[in-house]
Amino acid sequence: MSLPLEAFGVSTGAVFLGEIGDKTQLLALLLASRFRRPLPVIAGILIATLANHALAVYAGRSLNGLLDPAWLPWIVGLSFIGVGLWALVPDQLDDRDAGPARGSVLWVTTAAFFLAEIGDKTQLATAVLGVRYDLFLPVLAGTTGGMLLADVPVVLLGGALAARLPLQPIRWAAAGLFILLGVLSLSLHGRLAVG
């Protein structure tokens, strides 16, 4: 598998799993139920994710040149474990994440989603993937695709879907996968360093 294709696939899967039960997924549900206009909500999520994740990938790639390459696998592995542990903590959406009540659906969604994603675990995962792969477009396309794969069904199906999804087992599985990826990264790096 080529490195750009691998970067795209891993980025898509990592953000999709990290978004399950995340506050931005809850925000997507809130905005969909509040406005009942799925297309502008989805477009706002897309615009906000592209902007937010572009900054995260850029930040990750910038760190790549500043850090000793020998430390990068350790940082990536420990970051994945950290994101996995963070995923175990259920997110709650507070009132300030909902955004202003006035304005166009598209811009309210874009602003609310962009702000809610700042410092979020999927943004951290995006920055880590930027460090790991040092490929801007495949990582950005993958993380944006993962975000849309997780949030578009929530927007389209709204409350009916949210009430039926077993979010806790899905969150645990996503956390386990992040932790497993971190442990595998650390153990692979450890074997390469010893060998």
Q: Which residues have CB under 8 Å from 191's CB, separation 6+?
A: none
CA atoms 120, 117, 133, 64: torsion sign: negative
Cα angle 87, 18, 114 (rounded to 5 degrees) comes to: 110
pLDDT digits (tens, 9 = 90+) for 135-153: 899 999 999 999 999 999 9
Mean pLDDT of 25-48: 86
- Both tokens of 27, joined, read 């925000």
- Tokens 């598209």, located at residue: 106
Lowest mean pLDDT: which of 26-30, 72-76, 100-104, 175-179?
Answer: 100-104
**How many CB atoms within 10 Å of residue 67?**
12
- The predicted pLDDT at position 146 comes to 94
Q: Is the pLDDT of residue 36 over 80?
A: no
pLDDT digits (tens, 9 = 90+) for 2-33: 788 999 999 999 899 888 877 788 788 878 87
pTM score > 0.75 for this model? Answer: no
Higher pLDDT, 136 or 134: 136
Tell me the CA distances in angstroms from 190 to 74, 133, 173, 187, one per residue in order.
9, 19, 25, 5
Mean pLDDT of the chain: 77
Measure the N-to-C terminal CA separation of the chain; round to a whole number of Å: 24
Let me know: does 46 contact 110? Beta carbons within 8 Å.
no
Let me know: does 155 contact 42? Beta carbons within 8 Å.
yes
Let me know: does 183 contact 26? Beta carbons within 8 Å.
no
Higher pLDDT, 99 or 12: 12
pLDDT digits (tens, 9 = 90+) for 160-195: 555 566 666 766 776 777 677 778 767 765 555 545
- The predicted pLDDT at position 92 comes to 53
Count of residues for the chain? 195
Q: Where are the domains of the chain?
A: 3-194
